Amino acid sequence: MDLSRFPRRRYTQGPTPLEFLPHFTKALRATCPDGSGPNVWIKRDDMLGLTPGGNKTRKLEFLAADALAHGADTLITCGAPQSNHCRATLSAAIKEGMKCRFVIEERVPNSYKVDASGNNFLFRLLGVEAITVVPAGTNMLEAMQKVASDLAAVGRKGYIVPGGGSNAIGGLGYVACAQELQQQFFEQGVQIDKIVVGSGSSGTHGGLLAGFLGNHINIPLIGIGVSRDPVDQNPLVHKEAQAVADLLGLNMTISPEAVLSFGDWWRPKYSVPNQAMVEAVQMLARTEAILLDPVYTGKIMAGLIGLARQAYFGKDENVLFIHTGGATSLHAYEAEVLGLKDLTV
């Protein structure tokens, strides 16, 4: 698939590392039936460019380029109070000499704190121009369009970046990742049997799926939902994957059955910590010195751990975990991830 016909900015020098996790693999196997868990590998997309990396960077390479092509001077986006996507979008705006405004949705009532640590601290340090806070259930597109209208009224031009950067243009970033993985598998002589990826706003999961199908990469993609069960999540991923395939002109109808996700590790609610997440964050930190975050990657890794303990993966299968970043939000959940606060789930 030829991505060169789409405008793209580059925020990362070279591919992100593809690494085996020997100590984590050993620790996980010790908790699996008969000690026969998988070999766990990691794709370090937490080391992508923009402050300080994560999966949104790949999407923003295409989205920021499109914004510039449309003559925008301001990026407008939305997310939750500790949004990695908002932080990355602000970083891209700074790189391109643009301003940035957010619409923050309080999915958990009263969860936005202007002086909070984590990504909220970075919002202020990096100099977000304005933040509009709205209650859960708000029509986020309409709220962002209102910000764009306010800018237009004073002679400026905003560009709306959807939540998570998840649309067909943003999804191209994970088509590029699929191609990067294919090359790394070849160069490193690695055979991966299954891939575990986070499934939220659907851009990463859907973009990878379109990229795998379009490049004939026959490795199962296993999504771990961070906010929804499969009955609600899978249609979103399918829609995103089909939109990306259509944008690329692949003349391909993606079957809904091509989407696989699990929804057992996101509860009690999106962004609310649980014990499985705490175990996952601590295990990877203490075996490989790699940081996960409480909202996304901690729960995604909890899913990988849980599936391994259910013997979902074959003995000695090579399972790749896509690390989508987000460690900056750890500092907003210190008591939870250190086990100093009681959790009900």
Q: Does pLDDT of 344 surpass 90?
A: no
Q: What is the mean pLDDT of the chain?
A: 96
Strands (E), the chain: 18-20, 39-44, 74-79, 99-106, 130-135, 158-160, 194-199, 221-225, 261-262, 318-323
| C-alpha 302: how far from chain center | 15
The average pLDDT across 191-197 equals: 98
pTM, entire model:
0.96
End-to-end alpha-carbon separation of the chain, Å? 44
**Fold for domain 56-165?**
Rossmann fold (3.40.50)
pLDDT of residue 219: 98
The average pLDDT across 309-315 equals: 95
Q: Which residues are catalytic, by number?
A: 83
Pair type for strands 194-199 and 318-323: parallel
Given this chain, do its domains 18-54+167-337 and 56-165 carry the same CATH topology?
yes
**Fold for domain 18-54+167-337?**
Rossmann fold (3.40.50)
Task: Please state the domain extents for the chain.
Answer: 18-54+167-337, 56-165
Q: Does pLDDT of 343 surpass 90?
A: no
- Residue 91 near residue 66 (C-beta atoms within 8 A): no
Q: Given pLDDT bands bounded at 50, 70 and 90, which one contains residue 342?
A: confident
The average pLDDT across 145-163 equals: 98
| Three-class secondary structure of residue 79 per DSSP | strand
**CA angle (12, 183, 247) in 5-degree steps:** 70
pLDDT of residue 113: 92
What is the tens place of the pLDDT at every residue in 124-139? Answer: 999 999 999 999 999 9
What is the tens place of the pLDDT at every residue in 57-92? Answer: 999 999 999 999 999 999 999 999 999 999 999 999
Q: Which uninterrupted H or E stretch holds 236?
A: helix 230-248
**Within a 10 A sphere around the Cβ of 318, how many other Cβ atoms?**
19
User: Any residues with CB less than 8 A from the CB of 27 and at least 6 apart, and which?
Assistant: 283, 287
Name the percent of the chain lying above pLDDT 70.
99
pLDDT of residue 345: 54
